[in-house]
Amino acid sequence: MRRSIEPSEVAMDPGSGPFLLPAEYAAVRDAVRRLAEERIAPRAAEIDRTGEFPWDVHDVLARSGFHAPRIPEQYGGSGADALATAVIIEEIARVCAASSLIPAVNTLGTLPLLLAGAHELCARYLPLVAKGDAMFSYALSEPEAGSDAAAMTTRAVRDGEWWVLDGVKRWISNAGESRFYTVFAVTDPDAGTHGISAFVVEADDPGLSFGPKERKLGIRGSPTREMSFAGCRIPEWRIIGAPGDGFSLAMRTLDHTRVTIAAQAVGIAQGALDAAVGYTSRREQFGQPVAEFQGVRFTLADMAMRIEAARALTYVAAAHSERGNGDLGYFGAAAKCFASDVAMAVTTDAVQLFGGYGYTQDYPVERMMRDAKITQIYEGTNQIQRVVIGREVLRRAASGSSGPVR
């Protein structure tokens, strides 16, 4: 799946015909959907209930090559492009959002290496992830540096052939389960955003410790922990890119991976719609299936329209990600923001359509609603995404540009 996506395959002009995924992507969708329905869906409720990381699901995905799809073939991966990765995450999230974070977090953690890492660094770590022997997480946020990532205080000080890290990272997905971490730290406190660098840290490095799992509303099967560094010494060759390039690398990475969160949100929404259609078609009130009532059909119609719009925007953003377009920041933010808002609205509607049953754990829609909420928050809150989108709209207006952003 290494072929770049042509614009005509993703975004079609009005009136030019229906959007269709190329056959190779449809085949990926079919394969992931079968696996998800057979091996992941039966586990979803238990994963949510126990809050334990689903290593059995990880192993199933690893055997199929869906656990870390973006790792190139030269490092032992499947070499999936951005659109194929979005399809994979969407289909897993359709049945279990927590499980969809296995490929999503591996993508987030490894992408800085693919964007800026030396070949030797990539060759040391990426094959282990590709084989399923390790996972890779991303450590950017801190207790006082969430949306304002540049305010981070974690330090990395050069000591001969070593870097010594001190500080705290918070809200780290799969922390304590992943073997490797991309960690951002200040290496020159006088240089602002140009004084931040990125490093690979291993879970067993002396001086690194993990806090307890956060008690979360949703995605409970993806543990979130704090990471603390106290004199954590790592060799100098584990720096990703050049010193001072870390902040720009972090932002470039998020431009790409916000597409995966959009895909996750689309999958959650689709799962909720599927459940709502099935339930309202079976449930009878006043002598007929609930789905026969016009008000219910209108709700289902609105849900379906929103999902299709979110999916189309997500796939367009994936095409921009694959090509590395300069407007990826806009499209990544727009897809993530819109799709996650859709996921929250659709899952809330699904709970309503289930009535009292929707509020119980006997049905999956309450879990889907809880899972959907985080898509509006992580990898940049939707308020931040709107700042990014609005800034680009005003920039284009100031430059004399008009019409749609392409």
pLDDT at 251 over 60: yes
Looking at residue 405, its pLDDT comes to 57
Q: What is the pLDDT of residues 118-132, one digit of tens each?
A: 999 999 999 999 999
Q: What is the pLDDT of residues 34-88, one digit of tens each?
A: 999 999 999 999 999 999 999 999 999 999 999 999 999 999 999 999 999 999 9
Pick the CATH number of 247-396 from 3.30.1360.70, 1.20.140.10, 3.40.50.2300, 3.40.190.10: 1.20.140.10
Looking at residue 16, its pLDDT comes to 32
Partners of 285 in the β-ladder:
288
Looking at residue 403, its pLDDT comes to 59
Every domain of the chain with CATH number 1.20.140.10 lies at 247-396
Among this protein's residues, is 379 annotated catalytic?
yes
Other Cβ atoms less than 10 A from the Cβ of 39: the count is 17
Considering the domain delimited by 7-130, tell me its CATH architecture: Orthogonal Bundle (1.10)
Using alpha carbons, list the distances in angstroms from residue 376 to 37, 88, 169, 221, 340.
26, 20, 21, 18, 5
Every domain of the chain with CATH number 2.40.110.10 lies at 136-244
Every domain of the chain with CATH number 1.10.540.10 lies at 7-130
Q: What is the pLDDT of residues 215-226, one digit of tens each?
A: 999 999 999 999
The pLDDT confidence band at residue 406, using thresholds 50, 70 and 90, is low
pLDDT mean over 157-166: 98
Looking at residue 21, its pLDDT comes to 80
Per the document, the length of the chain is 406
What CATH class has 136-244?
mainly beta
Active-site residue among 73, 308, 379, 392? 379
Q: What is the mean pLDDT of the chain?
A: 94
pLDDT over 90 percentage in the chain: 91
pTM attached to this predicted model: 0.94
Which of 267, 253, 250 minimizes the C-alpha distance to 371? 267
